[in-house]
Chains A and B, each alone.
Chain A
Amino acid sequence: MKITQGWRLLQSGTQSDEALVERCARGDESAFKELFDRHHRMVYNLAFRMTGNHSDAEEIAPEVFVKVWRKASEFRGQSRVSTWLYRIAANMAMDRMRSARTTKEVFWEDLAPVDKEMPDLRQATETPEDAAMRREDNRILAAAIERLSADDRLLVTLYHLQGCSYAEIEDITGISQVNIKSKLFRARRRLRDTMVTTQKGDAPDDVQRSTTTTDGFHFAAALQS
């Protein structure tokens, strides 16, 4: 933990994540609740962006925290608690994606509201036309991300959508930072190519409709505002 983070925690009277995990290992339910409050958005968003639907994310997120609660005594502190949580969530989401057999579609009407802590300020000032254009841009981006492989989607999600550093992603995935950079570069190039093709109208029907499913998943909802 950085010194500034530690000082901030000391000033605010809050405990570190590591201390909360230690208390979880002793069966302290209030520590578990505190840990959940701090990290459930991050875990939920990762699961949602990987699987592309709320029902899977609502199953994965509790499972992640249940695992943390039950395995708290085994946490050795070799990585940050948030990294540990990400690793569990990423593994569960990848397992879910690999084992998926059925096609799932997320309808635009079912999209979740934007996080209240991070409101999208553009919405307050933009015209209906701008909003429609932004939604269309997001739809195209979502469809392009959806067509990435599961591994590439995980890297793009962690780096670009969740804001993890290369070092954190290395801890989470076990992929070296050099490989992460090259894989991300190639994934972005694929994203751009797919988006350009879609905008030209040459994309397959599934991309244009944006209800497509690759590996049985739909990513569009994650990007909708």
Chain B
Amino acid sequence: MDFTLQQLSRAETGAVDSHLGTCEGCRALLEEERALGRRLAAVPRVEARSELWAVTRALAMEPAATAPVRAPKALRRPFQLRFPWPAARPYAAAFAAGVATVVLLVAPNVPAPEAAPGARVIAQTLDQARQVARQSDDPMGDMTDRTWEALTVSHQGAPGS
């Protein structure tokens, strides 16, 4: 293309010229390049509608869009501050719920929450996970919520509860 646009140095142009004199394949390729370049260059412009300026002006003169309203940092829950990535919160919640499930399955004879500090911690963790999941925009939040409900039922129905 540099050759077709005459952007090569005199020496380079001479070398290409001499090669083209003996190579039919390159001559054909060069002609194809030139022909396609001409066809592309001949593509006409299109015209925008006359209302384009009015639309542009109206949009430009509008007040700039305000950022989504978020609670001040001081009002946010400490747990959220430890998980600054919103997308990660439901996964963290799901992980906590999973840990709790494993604990409940492996140790079905866990004493009632009021009698065991460990169970209280699990319940608090699940509650916290549920709250975080509910506050998240991620669809996982709903799933975690349902997991919580199922866990609550199974835990209440467990022996010793």
Contact = CB atoms under 8 A, between A and B. Distances in A.
Interface stretch (A63-71, A77-85, A91-99, A199-207): A63-71
B59 A225 contact: no
B60 A57 contact: no
Interface in B91-112: none
A185 interface: yes
A222 B46 contact: yes
Contacts of A23: none
B33 interface: yes
A50 B48 CA distance: 15
Interface stretch (A6-14, A109-117, A168-176, A210-218): A109-117
Contact of A137 (B33, B39, B52): B39
A115 B56 contact: no
Contacts of A44: 46, 48, 52
B52 A40 contact: yes
A163 B43 CA distance: 11
Contacts, number: 91
A138 B52 CA distance: 27
Given A70-B60, A141-B39, A160-B37, A120 B44 contact: yes
Contacts of B114: none
A128 to B, nearest CB: 18
Interface in B25-78: 32-33, 36-37, 39-41, 43-49, 52-53, 55-57, 59-61, 64
Contacts of A225: 44
Contact of B43 (A32, A63, A188, A222): A222
Contacts of A45: 45-46
A145 to B, nearest CB: 8
A26 interface: no
Given A69-B60, A160-B40, A184-B1, A33 B53 contact: yes
A48 interface: yes
Contacts of A117: 45
A172 to B, nearest CB: 18
Given A41-B45, A58-B48, 8 more contacts: A44-B48, A48-B46, A62-B55, A65-B60, A66-B56, A70-B64, A161-B40, A188-B33
27 contacts: A29-B57, A32-B60, A37-B53, A40-B56, A44-B48, A44-B52, A57-B48, A58-B55, A61-B48, A62-B52, A65-B56, A65-B60, A111-B46, A114-B44, A114-B46, A115-B46, A116-B47, A118-B45, A120-B44, A160-B40, A161-B40, A181-B1, A184-B1, A188-B36, A191-B36, A192-B32, A222-B43
